[in-house]
Amino acid sequence: MLAPEFLPVYGGIGNYVLEISRKMPRDVEVLIVAPRRPNSKDEIEDRSSMHEDMLPGNVNVTYIGQANDMFFHNISFQMNCSKALRNLVHAHGIDIVHSQSSMPDFLVSPSRLKVPIVTTIHTTVQGHIEAIRSSGEGFAQLKSSEKFVVLFGPALTFLENRYYASGRHFLTVSEWARREIAREKRIDKSRIRVVYIGVDTEMFNPANRAEASRLYPQIADIDSPKILYLSRMATRKGILLLLRAIPKILQKVDAHFIFAGAGIAPEFPMDKRNYTYLGYVPRSVPPFLYSLSDMFVLPSLYENFPACILEAMASQCAVISTNICGIPEMISNGRSGVLIPPNDTDAIANSIIKLIDDEDLRKELAREARESAVRNFSWARAAQKTSEYYDEIIRNHGRGEKP
């Protein structure tokens, strides 16, 4: 597996590689190839909670190169993969390479590699650009990585189209993504397999609340209903929309907002007593934040199948998110969560106010969310289905069939 981010888990791709590899059937040998990131204080703590030694015996990690920047390190990792991958395939007897939509194998030819490549498509460049534009934010308000995507979008899309036109096989994590990718990239839908991601329902569990109260008494002791935003501080995640909705919310009800996630802190339009800003938190922290919160809000403008929503659901936290992309495949509106239109600050405010005012509804949504996560979204099932797809690809490759 090619992992542009891995331990400490920084985002969705890193979490996906980590969990799929951990739950692979034990007769599948997995080699994870990743760049090594510098050990900041936070990351040292993060590694201590999920070290390579804690991976099962059938999973090993090889680091090639360094990762110093969230966006630009992809180019360095692509170059390192182009140099190292053929030797790694030969040395370890690799039967199949599993890549990601950040295209770490962009400079690698599947035909020359002699083994098939399957790529999990998490997002596309065009999807990012459309989300950024739909936000209505000015260029100056965008994060640096978002500015880069906007400026170089046509070139990045051209490269991405070349990548998807090559002899690779494809996975994605929602039916919505399968339809959109087939349309946008002109790929036959039969070449794209859908496997939903999962969630660790033992790690993300409402039973964490007692321990969370001991570890984070400053949050547990807050009397107001607590609303959690835990994602990157990026425009497409809807952070600015939530911030605009907060003054409307606080005019009607008392509430405390918790913000956690990587990125530059935005300006908070409220009194300090109404929010807690944590910034980047190690992997060990989110299970406790979810369990301490009454609601989780992700007013995103573009997603595929966000893991943070499943984590909140498994933690028995009422979820409010947007009715876009793959999110309706996760949440049944009015039953296991609340779906709202994108780019609608009034809808954000009204939904939060409603769930603060109606505690019974909030708790019922949270209970059903937990049951749905346990019933429908398992990493073991995702890994098993992925392994079965590997077998299918390898069998066809052996018969000389092309993707």
89: CB partners within 8 A, 6+ apart: 97, 113, 114, 115
Is 94 inside any structural domain? yes
| In the predicted structure, residue 159 carries a pLDDT above the cut 50 | yes
Residue 5 lies in a domain: no
Separation of alpha carbons 242 and 348, rounded Å: 7
Q: Which domain holds residue 51?
A: 12-198+379-398
Co-location of 220 and 131 in the same domain = no
- Which pLDDT band, with edges at 50, 70 and 90, does 356 fall under? very high
Of 19-33, 88-102, 387-401, which range is least confident? 387-401
- In the three-class reduction of DSSP (H, G, I as helix; E, B as strand; rest coil), residue 109 is classed as coil
Evaluate whether 360 touches 342 at the Cβ level (below 8 Å).
no
pLDDT band (50, 70, 90) for residue 264: confident
CA end-to-end span of the chain: 19
Whether residue 46 has pLDDT greater than 60: no
What is the average pLDDT score of the chain?
89
pLDDT value at position 323?
97
Amino acid at 273: R
Q: Yes or no: say if 231 and 299 are a contact pair by the CB < 8 Å rule.
A: no
* Neighbouring C-beta atoms of residue 330, cutoff 10 Å: 27
Structural domains in the chain (count) = 2
Q: Of 58-72, 176-190, 310-324, give the lowest mean pLDDT range.
A: 58-72
Identify which of 6, 5, 12 has the alpha carbon closest to the alpha carbon of residue 198. Answer: 12
Pair 244, 323 in one domain: yes
Report which residue type is found at 243.
L
- The number of CA neighbours under 13 Å toward the Cβ of 190 is 2
CATH of residue 285: 3.40.50.2000
pLDDT digits (tens, 9 = 90+) for 300-309: 998 899 999 9
Q: What is the pLDDT of residue 71?
A: 54
The pLDDT of 177-204, averaged and rounded, is 93
Model confidence at 365, pLDDT cuts 50, 70, 90, reads very high
CA distances, 230 to each of 166, 276, 286, 362 (Å): 36, 12, 8, 19
Question: Among 102-116, 131-145, 304-318, which is the least confidently predicted range?
Answer: 131-145
| Phi, psi for 268 (deg, rounded to 5) | -100, 120
